[in-house]
Amino acid sequence: MKIIRLLLKNSWQIFLLGAIASIITGASSAGLIAVINYILQNLEQTTAGIVGSFIGLCLLLMVSSASSWILLSRLSQDIIYDLRLEITQNIFACPLRQLEIIGAPKLLATLTADINTIANSSAAISALGVSIALVLGCLVYLCWLSLPVFLIFLFFIILGILSYQFLASKGLKWFKIARETQDDLFQHFQTVTQGTKELKLHRQRRQTFFQEDLKVTASALRFRWMKAMTIYAIANGYGLVLFFIPLGLMLLFLTKIMTISTAVLSGYTVTLLYMITPLRGILNQGNRIKRIEKKMGQ
């Protein structure tokens, strides 16, 4: 990924520390879930050691999660700072004639919008790293609870994620088509603003332009944008229930065909409910990074 390569190039040491902090976040979250599950199974046998473990893991989770965000945010801000200075120096060194060809709007967009794109991507990477660490920690705990049940769950989770990505990719495809149509519409708007005098002088040309160019393009943009939003809305709605499906399968069907202890049922229920937020974060941030990287490649 271009974004990760950029982060590593700037300071692989800070990136590594942020990754280690994310791993600790995942491990501490899994440990915390294990302690909660143990407490649920032994409410009348809670010891000082269990209480201490719970408090210690809460503190570790808070510190490691915050550290991961801070380290990767610092790295992204360092990159943005260096890029702004480097681009400004390149503008100073560029011949005046070439600057006039490029144009002030494009230069300003590079210094603002393009840099902000990198900032947004860095924030998405930070969120994605923490979410992945949390999910991996939970998966390790689920595997430790029961390997057979874990393999069944893993199959349905992978199947669900692939089906979600299929829907989301269709939505992204229509968003891309809509953006291309929007560019055509902006060209028509440019014709309106720059060729107002000519259009006013030629009534037939003005009517033809309005009916066959601008109106048709605006209608196509409306249709394509709604198509993209509809597919994306369906994908997001599916994503809301995606991770409840394996839980329902376990409670309603797996318990009927195989013996699953109360401790395993409790552990899986608590863990899967906890995993929903970071799993959705992985899907959403992953799609966000894809969109940003496509924009960076343009």
pLDDT value of residue 162: 85
How deeply is 108 buried, as exposed, middle or buried, from its count of CB atoms within 10 A (0-12, 13-18, 19+)? exposed
pLDDT above 80 for 221: yes
Q: What pLDDT shows up at residue 6?
A: 61
So what's the pLDDT on residue 131? 81
What is the pLDDT at residue 168?
79
pLDDT per residue as tens digits for the range 73-131: 777 777 777 777 777 777 777 777 776 666 655 655 555 555 666 666 666 676 777 78
pLDDT value at 258 more than 70: yes
Residue 202's pLDDT band (cuts 50, 70, 90): low
Residue scoring higher pLDDT (164 or 56): 56
139-193 pLDDT tens trace: 888 888 888 888 888 888 888 888 888 887 888 788 778 877 877 777 767 766 6
Confidence label for 247 from pLDDT (cuts 50, 70 and 90): confident
pLDDT of residue 294: 58
Domain ranges of the chain: 1-145, 147-259
- 276-284 mean pLDDT: 78
Q: Above 80 in pLDDT, residue 220?
A: yes
Is 1.20.1560.10 the CATH classification of the domain at 1-145? Answer: yes
- Average pLDDT value for residue range 66-77: 79
R_g of the chain, CA atoms, integer Å = 26
Phi, psi of 261 (to 5 degrees): -70, 160
